[in-house]
Structure 1
Amino acid sequence: MIVEWLLLLAVVVLIAANAMFVAAEFSLVAVDRPTVARLAETDPKAKSLREALRTMSTQLSGAQLGITITSLVVGFIAEPSIATLLQVPIRAAGLPEETASVVAFTAAFLIATMVQMVFGELVPKNWAIAEPLKVGRAVVGFQRGFTWVSRPLLWFLNGTANHIVRALGMEPQEELASARSAQELGSLAARSAQQGLLGEELARRLEHSVALNERTASDAMTPRPRVRFLELDETASDVLDAVRASGHARFPVIGESVDDVRGVVLFKDALAIPSADRAGRTVQDLVRPIRAVPSTMPLGSVLEVLRLGVQMAVVVDEYGGTDGIVTLEDVVEEIVGEIDDEQDNPTRAYRQLEERRWSLSGLLRPDEASETLSIELPEGRESDTLGGLITEQLGRFPRVGDEVLLGVRDETRPDGDGLPTPAVARLKVTRLDGWRVDRLTLTVEDAEEGEVDA
């Protein structure tokens, strides 16, 4: 019996060692590297942890080797030792010897498995995930020591595994990649907001910032029909009149046609001319060079162009014609949302009429409306605006009173899992400007209140 008790003591020690290997494995994966690097300047344990992170693959291999060895040895000695100790009280209960042996070994197997899983695996794993830095600092010395002792065996095992990985067309890495892609950063910001670690507005701006290059100049531009162009022979007085009428401070200047953009004229240049001379000075005297960007240029590149010029560029389509105008404010609004100054009309693009019902500009993009109204509107297949989406759904030019039903997801009414609920958006044309939709109303209804057009 003494031997069995000594073996059980060895099992306890082995389970504790197994727990340390598991804790080391999960803490190395979960710990925040910048925090470790900062603490390593003054904390010896953090410095040791930083060194372990630099040889991540080797350290994880050492942890896996330790887990494998301890688990095998525990399984080898725990079950027979526990079974031997259990057979005495089981036989004393009056069971036959063969039955007592089966019961003892079954109970020993269950007890050994439960203790190993709970104390050797689950507890250290959950603790390491909850407090990776604290746990990592506590076990890194033991982990690095075992890895150093088992270097020859690890060298052989790692070499064999790396050879197989290379044969599969991949290159093994010693460290985990700490860099994150733009999509990963955006997802990280969204998850942080959901967990209350970041404000929703800040998270939204971070998402938009990292996804800036996923949008193009055509997404942010002011479309050609909405642009106020000036001609070369107009006067400085005409420039000031245009400023008063529109509230803008920059105007593209055209030559023979809208597709012939010659430059840009600034409000401050026209204002600098003495009042008596303004009627005699033409835009041609004031025009400045303007940059042109293709409609497919990513907004990150557009931003660089605008920073170096007059904060306005002409957007050119694939045929060389003028598609619209993009300004620095347009790009900034893609990040921070709509910017209204004292000369902006806040009801121009959208206006809430009542709960779940809005009046919208037909030139508003579906993604802009989605963000403003907190619903997930579908994008058009060939169109860029809400008006174009209605025309696309109708298959003809719209008329006042036409309605379109779209399947959407309502973020203002999440389900039990916090996800947007299905709903129906009813888009109704209220005003036309020629052939295009100038104004529409959008009403969000519960999904059962209407059917979505196929």
Structure 2
Amino acid sequence: MTTPLLLLAAAFLLILANGFFVAAEFGLVTVDRPDAERAAAEGDRRARTVVRALRELSFQLSGTQLGITITSLVVGMLAEPALAQLLAPPLTATGLPAGAVSGVAVVIGMLLASAVQMIVGELVPKNWAVSRPLQVARFVAGPQARFAALLRPVITLLNTLANRLVRLLGVEPTDELASARTPGELVSLARHSAEAGALEQDTADLFVRTLSLAGLTAQHVMTPRVKVSALHSSATAEDVLNLTRATGLSRFPVYRDRIDEVVGMVHLKDALAVPAHERLRTPAGRIAVAPLLVPGTLPVEHLLRRLRHEQPIAVVVDEYGGTAGVVTLEDIIEELVGEVRDEHDAEGAGRPELTPATGEDGRPAWDAEGSCRVHTL
């Protein structure tokens, strides 16, 4: 009786060791690297060990897998026969045929050993590591690093063979997980955080829109030429004031013969600076400044920089050199926060370009204005 109990005790210790390797595996995979680096920079020696382990993550994970494999095999070798031996007398007492006792005992022993192994050696450490990744990683990184260093030749050999097989599948193995995130991953993270209540929906929307700017160009955010209010170069300063009263705008392109020939940009304040008795005789072209011309393919982040440092309004030109539209800082701000209305906007100017509707076949549809931007659709 003593021998089976000793075997079970040894098997339980190995299950605990298996749990350690499982915790190490999940702890190193789920820990947030910036958190570990921040703790290491503050002087946490265990966190420094975690950071070192993360720099060779593939090797450390191979070490945990080796430890899990060894402990699982030995647990099976020790626990199942020991349990079968302990269960044989009670099963015999139940009146089972002598030939069936051994087989039943082995099956029950295997089920019991597997259940304990799964709960204590797998699920508990896994759930602990997922719930407290940095805490677990700090706890396991040191012993795991020493275990991996002790078996480095074996782990290196196994890891090299595995990497060769992975390359045959057309995938290049990496030694560590990338800590950076792509814009698409950040968008997904923001949306999931908002759904989980960890982030305000408005904040998540602003974050997503900010990331979306990277894929937009000047032609995506501009006001198209058919909606542009402009003045002929022969117009007067008084015409600038009248157009401002009519539109609520303060800046206007000035063109020579047609809108494709923009020669300047006139501002309301320049028209107001002209003495009242001279406004009817002062051409708008004389008080206009040189226009800022940008191609329609200019990325929004570069456009924003130019609008901030040169002029807050630009003329967008197409591939033929014609005027495609105008773009202002407000247009870019509206891409971030939505429609911005002020006291000069016409009634209904802020209505959505897309409204829910019902198609002829009864299915949900959308009504879109002809000026609705493609990326909005």
TM norm structure 2: 0.91
- Cα deviations across residues 389-448 of structure 1 (Å, max 9, x unaligned)? xxxxxxxxxxxxxx95588xxxxxxxxxxxxxxx6247499xxxxxx799xxxxxxxxxx
**1:346–1:155 distance in 2 versus 1, CA, 3 Å:** farther
Give the match's secondary structure for 2:264.
strand
**1:39–1:233 distance in 2 versus 1, CA, 3 Å:** same
Q: Which amino acid counterpart does residue 424 of structure 1 have in structure 2?
A: P
Equivalent residue pairs, number: 371
Q: CA offset at residue 349 of structure 1?
A: 3.5
**1:405–1:331 distance in 2 versus 1, CA, 3 Å:** farther
- 8 Å contact 1:229–1:254 — kept in the other structure? yes
The aligned counterpart of 1:85 is: 86
Q: Which amino acid counterpart does residue 180 of structure 2 have in structure 1?
A: A
The aligned counterpart of 1:14 is: 14
The aligned counterpart of 2:214 is: 213
| Structure 2 unpaired stretches of 5+ | 373-377
Correspondence 1:265-280 to 2 at 5 A: 265-280=266-281
Q: CA offset at residue 13 of structure 1?
A: 0.8
The aligned counterpart of 1:349 is: 350
Give the match's secondary structure for 1:280.
coil
Bigger mean CA deviation after superposition, 59-68 or 35-44: 35-44
Identical aligned residues as a percent: 47
The aligned counterpart of 1:299 is: 300
- Partners of 1:5 and 1:37 lie apart in 2 by 45
Is 1:120 matched with 2:121? yes
- Cα deviations across residues 9-39 of structure 1 (Å, max 9, x unaligned)? 1111111111111111111111111111111
- Partners of 1:345 and 1:4 lie apart in 2 by 89
Structure having the larger proportion of residues in helix: 2
Is 1:203 matched with 2:204? yes
- Partners of 2:159 and 2:65 lie apart in 1 by 11
- Cα deviations across residues 58-108 of structure 1 (Å, max 9, x unaligned)? 111111111111111112221111111111111122212211111111101
The aligned counterpart of 1:329 is: 330
Q: CA offset at residue 172 of structure 1?
A: 2.5
- Partners of 2:281 and 2:31 lie apart in 1 by 71
Bigger mean CA deviation after superposition, 161-170 or 328-337: 161-170
- Partners of 2:359 and 2:324 lie apart in 1 by 27
- Partners of 2:261 and 2:154 lie apart in 1 by 74
- Partners of 1:178 and 1:406 lie apart in 2 by 49
- Partners of 1:406 and 1:213 lie apart in 2 by 38
- Partners of 2:223 and 2:360 lie apart in 1 by 27
The aligned counterpart of 2:261 is: 260
Q: Which amino acid counterpart does residue 13 of structure 1 have in structure 2?
A: L
- Cα deviations across residues 116-157 of structure 1 (Å, max 9, x unaligned)? 111111111122111111211222222112111111111211
Q: Which amino acid counterpart does residue 288 of structure 1 have in structure 2?
A: V
- Partners of 2:366 and 2:181 lie apart in 1 by 40
Q: CA offset at residue 169 of structure 1?
A: 4.2
The aligned counterpart of 1:25 is: 25
The aligned counterpart of 1:157 is: 158
Give the match's secondary structure for 2:154.
helix
- Cα deviations across residues 227-286 of structure 1 (Å, max 9, x unaligned)? 101111112221122222211121111111111122211222222333333333222122
- Partners of 2:281 and 2:175 lie apart in 1 by 73
TM norm structure 1: 0.76
The aligned counterpart of 1:2 is: 2
- Partners of 2:28 and 2:136 lie apart in 1 by 9
Q: CA offset at residue 310 of structure 1?
A: 1.0
- 8 Å contact 2:264–2:285 — kept in the other structure? no
Q: CA offset at residue 200 of structure 1?
A: 0.6
CA RMSD across the alignment = 2.4
- Partners of 2:220 and 2:70 lie apart in 1 by 59
Correspondence 1:161-200 to 2 at 5 A: 161-200=162-201
Structure having the larger proportion of residues in strand: 1
- 8 Å contact 1:213–1:298 — kept in the other structure? yes
- Partners of 2:287 and 2:155 lie apart in 1 by 75
Q: Which amino acid counterpart does residue 239 of structure 1 have in structure 2?
A: V
Q: Which amino acid counterpart does residue 260 of structure 1 have in structure 2?
A: E
- Partners of 2:66 and 2:241 lie apart in 1 by 78
- Cα deviations across residues 191-236 of structure 1 (Å, max 9, x unaligned)? 1111111111110111111111222322211111111011111122
The aligned counterpart of 1:424 is: 364
- 8 Å contact 2:339–2:350 — kept in the other structure? no
The aligned counterpart of 2:64 is: 63
Higher relative CO (Cα under 8 Å, sequence separation at least 6) belongs to: 2
- Partners of 2:371 and 2:214 lie apart in 1 by 29
